[in-house]
Homo-oligomer: A and B are copies of this chain.
């Protein structure tokens, strides 16, 4: 099934399932379980940094996918994480995958948590980056002054805003952010359309719903026995690191990796370290985490 080993050049494919058409890319090979990547707020297939995808694709198939209403996938963007998880499960069923690993970043990490609650058997190992449990705190409040200033800045267009909001305000982190957006810009053909305000509004509604909880806070995490790797930048302004602390304090089989001098996009800043540690985690054979 694999056509090429890089998100720079992998062609976009389309899958029809349950009345929707899903855009996706699938590349890489190796002994590992296929790894489904679930994307962040407003992100499309083109927002997956090849510095992440390609090293991971050396040991396994990597599958990128546009959820409903994103990029070239049909349908409407759901206003809940549960709605997004349903599409992701439909997509995996459509591919005929009985079990895979998953890497969910930010919004995608919430979708991964929901998927494992609904269908534990379809996921083996879980990587959650820059994300929060249901009932987490301070999730994606873009109206906070520290973040709003970037959205109000007319000089910041396109990917330039990602350099500001995904990276810490240090020289070293901003340099990593610049390298990140340069990498994203290298793919020039077969691109997704960028997400607009309708996508943003629906996904934001999903974040607001995800902050709500009923009953004992974080109790549902105790049921997830899957080996899980939680990753965060210590200065994440969009989804603070405290949410990652709560994840590992409540998930029974999760290990935590926190990066210094970095924000929401710690995996892109430390792509070399991240892909190495993630590979150590994904390549473990026994049932225990790590």
Contact = CB atoms under 8 A, between A and B. Distances in A.
Interface of A: 172, 234, 241, 245, 248-249, 251-261, 270, 273, 276-277, 280, 284, 288-290
Contacts of A273: 255, 280, 284, 290
The oligomer's copy count stands at: 2
Which of A260, A277, A284, A290 is packed against the most chain B CB atoms within 10 Å?
A260
Nearest to A273: B290
B259 A255 contact: yes
Contacts of A252: 260-261
Contacts of A241: 249
The 10 closest A-B pairs by CB, nearest first: A273-B290, A256-B258, A276-B280, A253-B260, A254-B260, A248-B258, A255-B259, A234-B248, A260-B289, A270-B290
Nearest to A170: B252
A216 to B, nearest CB: 18
Please indicate which of the listed interface residues A172, A241, A284, A290 has the most CB atoms of chain B within 10 Å of its own CB. Answer: A290
Contacts of A259: 255, 289-290
A277 B274 CA distance: 11
A257 B260 contact: no
